[in-house]
C-alpha cells in the first residue's frame, strides 16, 4: 500500500489547545472518516512535520497519542501504518447508569436504603482506609426498560459529598461524584458469577438459583483518593460487560 499524503491541517497557534493535540485530533478524524484507509502508510514524520508546519517533537507527540490509542503502528525503518479506524480505548470507566443512558434505555432507580454508618471492615479495607471511616451506604435497584436489572450496594466516604435519595433516584452515582468534583479515574474490579439467592431473586423478579453476574469495584479519583466501593449483582440474562483491552 503506497504512502498517503495527509491533507493540510489547520492550526491555531493562539488557541489554548496544544498543537500536538490539534494535529492528533485531525489525524484521528481523517482515519475515522476513511480518508486515510486502514493498511495505508503515513509519510515519514520528518516530512509530515515540515509540511504541517510543526516541529518533529510535536509531530511525534501527536502520532504517539494515536499509537497509544491503537489506531497507528510504528516500526523503525518501516514507517507508520494505520491499523484500526476506530479508537480502541483500554476500558471505559463508566457506571451502569452511564452505559444505559448512552444506549437510550432511560434507566430508573429505586433507592432501597440510604444511611450513614461506619464502614464495615471489608469496605474500609477496599477503600484503603485503616478503619473508623464514616460512609454513606446505599442499596439501589436499577431498572431498564421497565424490568429490574441489577441490585447495587455502594459505599461513598461521607466527607466527599452529601447524598440524598432524591438525587440518586434521578442521576447515577458517578454523575453525582463528577458533579462534586470527584472524577473517578481508576478502578479495580472483580467480575464473577453466582446463583441468585432467595432475596436477590425476589428483588430482581427472577427465580432462585438463576445465573447472576457479580461485580465488586473500588474507584479512585485523580489524586488517588478512594471515592467509591461497590458490590453489584446483575441479571445475567439481561446484562454483560464489554471490554477492550491492550497489552
Return residues touching DNA (CB under 7 A): 16, 18-21, 42, 44-47, 53-58, 60-61, 74-80
DSSP 175-236: HHHHHTT--EEEEEEEEEEEEPPHHHHHHHT--TT-EEEEEEEEEEETTS-EEEEEEEEEET
- The site partner of 83 among a second copy, DNA, none (C-beta below 5 to 8 Å per kind) is a second copy
Q: Which is nearer to DNA, 18 or 90 (by Cβ)?
A: 18
Which residue lies nearer to DNA by CB, 48 or 96?
A: 48
- The grid cell for 142 is 436499577
The minimum distance between CB 8 and DNA, in angstroms, equals 15
- 46's contact among a second copy, DNA, none, with CB below 5 to 8 A by partner kind, is DNA
Instruction: Give the shortest CB-183-to-DNA separation in angstroms.
Output: 13
Nearest-angstrom CA–CA distance, 168 and 176: 8
- Binding at 199: pick from a second copy, DNA, none (beta carbon under 5-8 Å per type): none
Of residues 158-177, which lie at the interface with a second copy (CB under 8 A)? none
Instruction: Give CA–CA dist 64/32, Å, rounded.
Output: 17
* C-alpha cell at position 19: 498543537
Nearer to a second copy, 9 or 213 (CB): 213
Q: Which does 236 bind (CB under 5 to 8 A by kind): a second copy, DNA, none?
A: a second copy
Binding to a second copy (CB under 8 A) within 187-246 occurs at 187-195, 209-214, 220, 222-224, 236, 239-246
> Which one, of 172, 3, 162, lies nearest residue 80 by Cα?
3
The one segment of 45-53, 86-94, 102-110, 152-160 that binds a second copy by CB under 8 A? 86-94
Give Cα separations from 6 to 1, 58, 226 (angstroms). Answer: 15, 16, 44
Q: Which of 43, 51, 32, 101 is nearest to 74 (CA)?
A: 43
Following CA atoms 216, 192, 234, 153 in sequence, which dihedral angle do they give, to the nearest 10 degrees? -20
Judged by beta carbon, residue 83 or residue 129, the one nearer DNA is: 83
Report the alpha-carbon distance of residue 56 to residue 47 in Å, rounded.
9
Site residues, a second copy (CB under 8 A) = 38, 70, 73, 81, 83-84, 88, 90-93, 183-195, 209-214, 220, 222-224, 236, 239-247
Amino acid at each position: 500500500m503506497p504512502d498517503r499524503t495527509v491533507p493540510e491541517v489547520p492550526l491555531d497557534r493562539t488557541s489554548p489547545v496544544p498543537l500536538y493535540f490539534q494535529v492528533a485530533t485531525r489525524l484521528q478524524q481523517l482515519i475515522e472518516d476513511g480518508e486515510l484507509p486502514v493498511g495505508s502508510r503515513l509519510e515519514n514524520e520528518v516530512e509530515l512535520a515540515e509540511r504541517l508546519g510543526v516541529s518533529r517533537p510535536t509531530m511525534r507527540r501527536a502520532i504517539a497519542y494515536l499509537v497509544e490509542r491503537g489506531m497507528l503502528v510504528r516500526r523503525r525503518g518501516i514507517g507508520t501504518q494505520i491499523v484500526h479506524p476506530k479508537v480502541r480505548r483500554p476500558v471505559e470507566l463508566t457506571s451502569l447508569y452511564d452505559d444505559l443512558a448512552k444506549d437510550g434505555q432511560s434507566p430508573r432507580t429505586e433507592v432501597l436504603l440510604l444511611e450513614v454508618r461506619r464502614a464495615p471492615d471489608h469496605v474500609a479495607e477496599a477503600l484503603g482506609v485503616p478503619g473508623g471511616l464514616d460512609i454513606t451506604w446505599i442499596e439501589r435497584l436499577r431498572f431498564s426498560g421497565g424490568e429490574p436489572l441489577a441490585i447495587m450496594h455502594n459505599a461513598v466516604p461521607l466527607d466527599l459529598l452529601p447524598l440524598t435519595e432524591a438525587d440518586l433516584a434521578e442521576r447515577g452515582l458517578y454523575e453525582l461524584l463528577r458533579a462534586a468534583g470527584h472524577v473517578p479515574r481508576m478502578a479495580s474490579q472483580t467480575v464473577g458469577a453466582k446463583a441468585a439467592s432467595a432475596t436477590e431473586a425476589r428483588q430482581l423478579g427472577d427465580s432462585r438459583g438463576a445465573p447472576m453476574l457479580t461485580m465488586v469495584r473500588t474507584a479512585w479519583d485523580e489524586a488517588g483518593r478512594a471515592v467509591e466501593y461497590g458490590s453489584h449483582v446483575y441479571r445475567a440474562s439481561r446484562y454483560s460487560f464489554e471490554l477492550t483491552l491492550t497489552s
